[in-house]
């Protein structure tokens, strides 16, 4: 990382302090470690403060490639869904098997990494927001030439903080019950950085209601102060690259409201996003599905689908890029070449057959699959290795499964490492316009607006090269969303939001109830051991 100032000096100091203290026995004299002088703010100007915001995005990628919180969240949500198949022939990652088997009684490193790094993000964003609140009207820079940028920076911080709480909510919290108490206390509450070890171990746990309240509050505020899009005459140059605008905040709030069963509020947000997209053509489904996944540069401007993406390196050169290699576990692996087969988790037969992409008898792709641009562009089917001709000269040409001796034909997700050059730095779409149409479709259907729901689904189908449907059912909507968003961490939280039990998929017959505690993963062991709130 080129500039350490992207993260608050105060936070880094406390992280070091805490790491040192937890290695000591509790009865040792810790007075040596107490701060003698208050730390000075590293944010002496608006330009300095811009680095705090850049740092909050950078932390979304974790400390190293194995600790990317949003990729790890996607792995946990999708691997535990009915859309994936665990490849028992792959012996390199038992942690994926634990997730696939929905074993939430043990700590799993990928999920633990998501927990730890999400709390680093919460610390960074909360510290910066608290600093802003020391100034009149949330602006401690009343005489800075760039003072007009502060509302945007606050909006971005609130967006990133809300996104972080949202990720944690999908992994650890019981479902939000509209009209319920939502008083469960599962994960730590963080409203300021602890001043030292003794304060850190006396933390409080947040209720489910508290967490949803802060998400809603942060996003409502962000919507009012974030710009609609990048303006080179007004904004810092890096704001062009993978940073949140008003519509990203609206889209995230629609997800939160969906979880809360505040369907009218969620639909209104989708209406507003789609209205802007269709009137301005700034966001559009006019391009092929692959267009959201095959770039490694900053993309901003009319004619794109992606409302918010994660850039693997910051646009103005601050910070270093981060590899999302955990995605190899649930993706065709393209890190080092075009034709490598996948790793641990591929499409389940249950997914392929439910959505109509695979014949349940022959296991061959259907006519519908072969006509669908998504199947052709964003999924990849390997033939069984046992069908490979004797003496086959090219061992890795993208046709035959090469890592495992198996009679199974594998269909891998192929949404990661898709850039045409330097695919390690491929952008990761985080929120896409297709999701907004699909969310509005189910909300319209629940409001008995079948015609409206059908129109929204046909928007997505038409982009995929398919014929329009005359009228949709709820199952049509669920399946269209599954085809569109599989391998993007959507399935489990979408079904749980609608109070639909999650099928077991290729694990066998049966379902796991939408409100089952199986969907609440085990909290990081170090946290439960040290935080007195868990005792």
Check residue 9 and give its pLDDT: 36
Check residue 523 and give its pLDDT: 97
Check residue 325 and give its pLDDT: 76
Residue 14 has pLDDT above 90, yes or no: no
**Domain chopping of the chain, boundaries:** 4-25+43-324+427-534
Please write the tens of the pLDDT for every residue from 148-171: 999 999 999 999 999 999 999 999
Check residue 24 and give its pLDDT: 37
User: Who wins on pLDDT, 503 or 1?
Assistant: 503
Check residue 33 and give its pLDDT: 41
- Give yes or no for a contact between 334 and 414, defined as CB atoms under 8 angstroms apart: yes
Check residue 434 and give its pLDDT: 98
User: What DSSP line would sit under 79-128, residue for residue?
Assistant: HTSSSEEE-TT--S-HHHHHHHTT-TTS--HHHHHHHHHHHHHHHHHHHH
Check residue 11 and give its pLDDT: 43
Environment class of 279 (CB within 10 Å of its CB; exposed 0-12, middle 13-18, buried 19+): exposed
Determine phi and psi for 502, rounding to 5 degrees. Answer: -95, 120
Q: Is residue 464 classed as helix, strand or coil in its secondary structure?
A: coil
Q: Is residue 411 classed as helix, strand or coil in its secondary structure?
A: strand
158, 190, 287, 301 from 240: Cα distances, Å: 18, 30, 21, 9
Check residue 336 and give its pLDDT: 61
Please write the tens of the pLDDT for every residue from 440-484: 999 999 999 999 999 999 999 999 999 999 999 999 999 999 999
User: Who wins on pLDDT, 298 or 253?
Assistant: 253
Residue 26 has pLDDT above 60, yes or no: no
Range with lowest mean pLDDT among 1-5, 246-250, 312-316, 490-494: 1-5
User: Residue range 4-15: average pLDDT?
Assistant: 39
Please write the tens of the pLDDT for every residue from 32-49: 445 454 555 679 999 999
Residue 338 has pLDDT above 60, yes or no: no
Q: Is residue 347 classed as helix, strand or coil in its secondary structure?
A: strand
**What is the pLDDT confidence band of residue 237, given thresholds at 50, 70 and 90?**
confident
Q: What is the 3-state secondary structure (H, E, C) of 26-56?
A: CCCCCHHHCCCCCCCCCCCCHHHHHHHHHHH
**What is the pLDDT confidence band of residue 335, given thresholds at 50, 70 and 90?**
low
Residue pointed to by tokens 């779409």: 429
**What is the pLDDT confidence band of residue 320, given thresholds at 50, 70 and 90?**
low
Check residue 28 and give its pLDDT: 44
Range with lowest mean pLDDT among 37-51, 198-212, 231-245: 37-51
Identify the DSSP state of 529.
H
**What is the pLDDT confidence band of residue 10, given thresholds at 50, 70 and 90?**
very low
Return the closest-CA partner of residue 487 out of 340, 352, 317, 307.
352
If you average pLDDT over every residue of the chain, what do you get? Answer: 87
**Most confident listed range (32-41, 54-63, 73-82):** 73-82
- Give yes or no for a contact between 150 and 141, defined as CB atoms under 8 angstroms apart: yes
User: Who wins on pLDDT, 523 or 8?
Assistant: 523
User: Residue range 106-120: average pLDDT?
Assistant: 94
For residues 67 and 476, what is the distance between their CA atoms, to the nearest angstrom? 36
Buried-state track 442-455, b at ≥16 Cβ within 10 A, e below 16: bbbbeeebeebbbb
Q: Give the sign of the dihedral formed by CA 171, CA 174, CA 176, CA 181.
A: negative
User: Who wins on pLDDT, 57 or 155?
Assistant: 155
Check residue 3 and give its pLDDT: 33
Q: How many CB atoms lie within 10 A of CB 28?
A: 10
**Most confident listed range (34-48, 166-180, 182-196):** 166-180
Check residue 339 and give its pLDDT: 55
- Give yes or no for a contact between 440 and 272, defined as CB atoms under 8 angstroms apart: no
The CATH architecture of the domain made up of 4-25+43-324+427-534 is Alpha Horseshoe (1.25)
Residue 263 has pLDDT above 70, yes or no: yes
Check residue 7 and give its pLDDT: 39
Check residue 397 and give its pLDDT: 67
Check residue 19 and give its pLDDT: 37
Residue 360 has pLDDT above 60, yes or no: yes
User: What DSSP line would sit under 304-345, residue for residue?
Assistant: B-EEEEE-SS-TTS-S-----GGGGGGS---SS-SS----SE
């Amino acid at each position: 990382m080129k500039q350490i100032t992207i993260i608050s000096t105060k936070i880094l100091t406390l992280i070091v302090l805490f790491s040192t203290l937890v290695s000591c026995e509790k009865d040792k004299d810790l007075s040596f470690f107490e701060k003698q002088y208050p730390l000075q703010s590293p944010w002496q100007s608006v330009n300095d403060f811009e680095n705090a915001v850049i740092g909050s995005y950078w932390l979304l990628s974790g400390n190293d490639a194995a600790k990317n919180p949003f990729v790890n969240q996607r792995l946990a949500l999708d691997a535990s869904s009915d859309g994936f198949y665990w490849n028992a022939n792959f012996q390199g990652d038992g942690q994926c098997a634990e997730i696939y088997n929905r074993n939430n009684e043990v700590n799993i490193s990928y999920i633990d990494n998501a927990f730890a790094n999400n709390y680093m993000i919460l610390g960074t964003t909360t510290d910066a927001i608290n600093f802003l609140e020391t100034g009149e009207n949330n602006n401690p820079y009343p005489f800075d030439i760039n003072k007009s940028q502060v509302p945007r920076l606050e909006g971005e911080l609130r967006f990133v903080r809300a996104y972080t709480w949202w990720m944690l909510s999908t992994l650890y919290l019981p479902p939000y019950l509209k009209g319920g108490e939502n008083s469960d206390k599962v994960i730590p509450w963080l409203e300021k950085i602890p001043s030292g070890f003794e304060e850190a171990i006396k933390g409080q746990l947040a209720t489910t209601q508290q967490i949803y309240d802060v998400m809603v509050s942060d996003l409502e505020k962000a919507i009012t102060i974030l710009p609609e899009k990048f303006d080179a005459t007004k904004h810092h140059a890096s704001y062009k690259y993978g940073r949140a605008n008003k519509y990203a905040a609206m889209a995230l709030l629609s997800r939160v409201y969906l979880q809360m069963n505040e369907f009218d509020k969620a639909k209104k947000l989708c209406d507003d996003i789609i209205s802007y997209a269709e009137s301005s053509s700034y966001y559009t489904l006019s391009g092929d599905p692959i267009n959201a996944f095959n770039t490694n540069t900053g993309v901003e401007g009319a004619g794109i689908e992606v409302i918010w993406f994660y850039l693997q390196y910051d646009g103005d050169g601050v910070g270093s890029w981060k590899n999302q290699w955990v995605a190899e576990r649930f993706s065709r692996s393209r890190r080092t070449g075009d034709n490598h087969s996948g790793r641990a988790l591929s499409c389940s037969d249950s997914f392929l057959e439910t959505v109509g992409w695979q014949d349940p008898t022959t296991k061959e792709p259907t006519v519908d699959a072969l006509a669908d641009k998504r199947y052709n562009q964003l999924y990849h089917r390997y033939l069984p290795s046992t069908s490979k001709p004797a003496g086959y000269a090219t061992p890795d040409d993208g046709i035959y499964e090469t890592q495992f001796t198996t009679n199974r034909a594998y269909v891998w997700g192929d949404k990661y490492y898709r850039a045409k050059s330097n695919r390690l730095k491929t952008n990761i779409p985080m929120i896409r316009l297709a999701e907004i149409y699909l969310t509005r479709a189910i909300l319209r259907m629940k409001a008995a607006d079948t015609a409206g729901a059908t129109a929204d689904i046909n928007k997505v189908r038409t982009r995929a090269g398919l014929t329009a449907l005359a009228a949709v059912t709820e199952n049509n909507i669920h399946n269209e969303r599954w085809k569109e968003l599989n391998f993007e961490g959507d399935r489990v939280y979408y079904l749980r939001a609608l109070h639909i039990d999650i099928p077991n998929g290729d694990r066998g017959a049966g379902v796991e109830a939408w409100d089952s505690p199986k969907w609440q993963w085990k909290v990081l062991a170090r946290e439960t051991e040290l935080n007195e709130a868990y005792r």
